[in-house]
Amino acid sequence: MNSYKKLTVAVLAAFVLGMGSTTANAGWFGASFGSTPSVTLFGQTLSVPVPSVTLGSAAGTSVGASASSDKGVSLALPFMKVGAQSPKLTVGPKTNKVSISAAGIKKQKAKKK
């Protein structure tokens, strides 16, 4: 039981220290939502695009399908169209980021301020 108390105190201390140093670790944690939601944990960002679905006359009346590492996957049936893109993982320090996805591994350009 004594080791359980020590573990609890250690976890709480680590949590408090982590919360107190958020200004020093800016950009290490975060989340964004929109057409491409992403989650950042320890500076590594995972982006997962939201699949698109179109129903009705706006989807068209033709039949077709395609798959590409750059554009993702799409399927079109009469009055229904579905599309999805692959997730992307961005890793590395701020000045030297690399993106990993179905399209391959690409070095990202530094953002201009």
Tell me what pLDDT residue 95 has.
Answer: 82
> For residues 50 and 9, is the Cβ–Cβ distance under 8 A?
no
Q: pLDDT, tens digit, for every residue of 43-76? A: 889 998 988 999 988 888 889 999 988 888 999 9
The better pLDDT of the pair 19, 76 is held by 76
pLDDT at 33 > cutoff 80: yes
Nearest to 106 by CA among 95, 93, 90: 90
